């Protein structure tokens, strides 16, 4: 009996953690999203969708994810390929590439704020080169495109490393014999990458893309630091409903919308990048 119960005892701490810190809060949020004053209603979702900011927040969030994630995936593949091919200094290169992982979202936003601010590094550089006569307000309320670009750059710099680490681990599982056999048959490095690396890397790609897409829909601190309310996103509006407008029910409905979008994209990538059992390493 002790041997049979051991696996369940080992799973119990993680199960309790998920129940207390995920399932219970989720149940509370779901209840508040579909009720008001104790009665069932969908008015919270109607209020959320009826806000003039709602189409803008959805557009900004989806556009940011659509631009940032592909760029991060490309850079992560390149960085992982470089790290995997290194014979010496591999650990050092991996540590250098992974430095942004140790920086919080807000800290990353403040770093890039110091670059784009009116008295920041970019204005100082342009002024010293004689390109501008006076400081430029890159992050002003009329510079929404610049704010969007700054947020995208900050997100690419901050979160590419997490995808790289996952892909480096996946590349380490690919047997070297496949590459040696392909080289014997005259396959070029690009052909080896397309025909061997990418197909066998699909499980790692699946994990990296799903994780990064979910985090892209939850972007908040970087946007708050660089754009404030000038670049509304879904997570920012959820915060606004909760703490500025003091409407917990609509905030809960907004949180459920983010969850639904995340689940939808997760299922999509699980379907697109699924790996048959017989094709796994």
Q: What is the pLDDT of residues 160-211, one digit of tens each?
A: 999 999 999 999 888 889 888 988 888 888 898 888 888 889 989 999 999 9
Q: Which two tokens stand for residue 147?
A: 């704010």
> Is residue 7 domain-resident?
no
Whole-angstrom Cα distance, residue 199 to residue 276?
Answer: 11
> Is residue 232 domain-resident?
yes
**pLDDT score at 259:** 93
Q: Which stretches of the chain drop beneath a pLDDT of 50? A: none
Q: Which residues 6+ apart lie within 8 Å of 136 measured at CB?
A: 118, 123, 126
> Is residue 49 domain-resident?
yes
**pLDDT score at 214:** 93
Q: Is this prediction's pTM over 0.85?
A: yes
> Is residue 5 domain-resident?
no
> Is residue 184 domain-resident?
yes
> Is residue 6 domain-resident?
no
* Tally of domains within the chain: 1
> Is residue 69 domain-resident?
yes
**pLDDT score at 1:** 53
Angle between helices 248-272 and 24-33 (to 10 degrees): 120
Residues 167 and 208 sit within 8 Å (Cβ to Cβ): yes
Whole-angstrom Cα distance, residue 158 to residue 212?
Answer: 11
Q: What is the largest CA-CA distance in the chain?
A: 80
> Is residue 16 domain-resident?
no
**pLDDT score at 7:** 85
The CATH number that applies at residue 94 is 1.10.3720.10
Domain with 147, as residue range(s), is 22-277
Whole-angstrom Cα distance, residue 36 to residue 46?
Answer: 13
**pLDDT score at 93:** 87
């Amino acid at each position: 009996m002790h041997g049979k119960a051991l696996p369940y005892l080992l799973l119990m701490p993680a199960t309790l953690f998920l129940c207390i810190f995920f399932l219970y809060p989720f149940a509370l949020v779901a209840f508040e999203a579909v009720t008001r004053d104790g009665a069932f209603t969908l008015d919270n979702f109607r209020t959320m969708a009826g806000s003039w900011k709602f189409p803008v927040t959805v557009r900004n969030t989806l556009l940011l994810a659509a631009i940032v994630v592909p760029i991060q995936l490309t850079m992560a593949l390149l960085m992982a390929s470089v790290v995997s091919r290194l014979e010496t200094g591999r650990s050092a290169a991996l540590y250098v590439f992974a430095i942004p992982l140790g920086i919080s979202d807000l800290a990353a936003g403040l770093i890039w704020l110091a670059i784009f601010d009116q008295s920041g590094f970019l204005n100082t550089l342009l002024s010293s080169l004689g390109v501008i006569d006076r400081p430029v307000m890159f992050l002003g309320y009329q510079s929404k495109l610049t704010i969007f670009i700054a947020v995208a750059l900050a997100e690419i710099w901050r979160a590419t490393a997490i995808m790289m680490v996952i892909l480096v681990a996946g590349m380490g599982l690919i047997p070297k014999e496949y590459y040696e056999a392909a080289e014997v048959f005259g396959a070029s490095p690009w052909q080896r990458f397309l025909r061997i690396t990418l197909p066998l890397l699909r499980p790692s790609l699946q994990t990296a893309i799903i994780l990064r897409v979910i985090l892209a829909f939850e972007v908040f601190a970087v946007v708050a630091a660089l754009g404030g309310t000038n670049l509304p996103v879904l997570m920012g509006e959820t915060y606004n409903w909760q703490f500025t407008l003091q409407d917990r029910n609509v905030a809960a409905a907004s949180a459920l919308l983010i969850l639904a979008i995340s689940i939808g994209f997760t299922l999509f990538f699980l379907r697109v990048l699924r790996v048959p059992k017989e094709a796994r390493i």
